Amino acid sequence: MGKNKNGFVKKKISLKVVLIVIVALFALTIVNGSFYSVKEQEQAILTMFGKVVRVDTAGLYFKIPYIQQVHLVDMTTHGIGIGYVLKDGQNITVDDEGIMITSDFNFVDIDFYLEYKVSDPVAAYYNSEDPEMIMKNMALASIRNTVVNYPVDDVITTAKGQIQAEVKERLTTELAEKNIGMSVVNISVQDAEPPTEEIVQAFKSVETAKQGKETAVNNAKKYQSEELPKAEAAADKILQDAEAAKQARIAEAEGQVARFNEMYEQYKLQPYITKKRLFYETMEELLPDLKVIITDGNTQQMLPLDSFNG
């Protein structure tokens, strides 16, 4: 009888111990499930019965266990390749993803690197099943709609910066309209080249021709810079000579006018004598070897006539 009683007591104590352990474990589970921590680069969405209660930033928070749920969202900046994937430290081209058509109906293989982050954790978690994939498809559409406005030469060479800016603006606007909780940090062109080797060689030939053109233009500009001052100096000399000739002709004309006026004054005093002397002087100029003889019929005399104006 004593043994049975002792066994019953031991069994009762064992049940109490097990019950205490179960209660302690349940209490510990409740306590652990009532608190959660959020890291610096995360945000937490607290939901109850499928509805959002609040969004928490970094810190320690309380929730009702088993009733309220916590969904952590990474808020750091991430990057993704468009037209290629990074594998084992190497860029692996994705077939046809980066092939675009240009405004002059050429094809170009252009790769972009997109940096993005979550801007609205609630929208990113609830508004779409895979916001990153949706954002990538939207980025591809924005790139194609932008590249198609540029000729292939500009896409490969000078227009990369402008294309990047336009793609970012398009994608930012579209992400805001779709409200999938994602935002663009930056998007940059990694590489742009023709899609086949034959076209690559053709473009290299075009580039060589362009460089030859630039060399010829530079040489022409150099020749212009050397010869233009010479031509300007020659033109200045011609203008100066012309001005000097002009002044000389004016002075000569003024002198002739003065001589004519002086002669005219003499003519008014003695018209007949003046006309005779003008005649003799003119004949002397026309026929310098002519000898003028003036006679009265009986005697003759050779008179070398002096200039009337001398």
- The CATH number assigned to the domain holding 170 equals 3.30.479.30
Same domain, 171 and 210: no
186 and 89 belong to one structural domain? yes
- Average pLDDT of the residues in 113-123: 94
Count up the domains in the chain and report the number: 4
Q: Is the pLDDT of residue 309 over 60?
A: no
Q: For residue 50, what pLDDT is reported?
A: 83
Model pLDDT, residue 211: 86
Question: Which candidate, 77, 46, 64, 289, places its Cα nearest to that of 182?
Answer: 77
Is residue 67 within 8 Å of 89, Cβ to Cβ? Answer: no
Which of 74, 106, 131 marks a domain boundary?
A: 74
Domain boundary at 132, 166, 195, which? 195
> Residue 171 carries which side chain, given as an amino acid letter?
L
pTM of the model: 0.57
Q: Judge if 88 and 170 occupy the same domain.
A: yes
Give the residue from 142, 165, 195 where a domain finishes.
Answer: 195
**215 and 189 belong to one structural domain:** no
Least confident of 33-47, 142-156, 279-293: 279-293
| pLDDT of 303 higher than 60 | no
Give pLDDT tens digits for 51-72: 999 999 999 898 888 888 899 9
* Mean pLDDT computed over 243-263: 87
Q: Same structural domain for residues 262 and 275?
A: no
Given a contact cutoff of 8 angstroms between Cβ atoms, the answer to whether 100 and 87 are in contact is: no
Task: Look at residue 146 and tell me whether its pLDDT is greater than 90.
Answer: yes
Range list of H helices, the chain: 2-34, 121-126, 131-147, 152-156, 160-178, 197-269, 271-286
Of the candidates 178, 194, 195, which has an alpha carbon nearest to the alpha carbon of residue 141? 178
DSSP-derived secondary structure letter, 185: E
Residues 214 and 244 reside in one and the same domain: yes
Whole-number pLDDT of residue 62: 86
pLDDT band at residue 44 using 50, 70 and 90 as cut-offs:
very high
pLDDT at 8: 55
| 109 and 191 fall within a common domain | yes
Q: Is the pLDDT of residue 147 over 90?
A: yes
Same domain, 118 and 140: yes
Q: Report the share of the chain in percent with pLDDT over 90.
A: 31
The verdict on 133 and 168 lying in the same domain is yes
The H-or-E segment that residue 118 falls in is strand 107-118
Residue 87 pLDDT exceeds 70: yes
Owning domain of residue 124: 78-195
Q: Are residues 167 and 95 in the same domain?
A: yes
Q: Which pLDDT belongs to residue 308?
A: 47
Residues 249 and 289 in one domain: no
Q: How big is the CA angle at 114 (ends 109 and 116), to the nearest 5 degrees? A: 165
- The verdict on 84 and 54 lying in the same domain is no
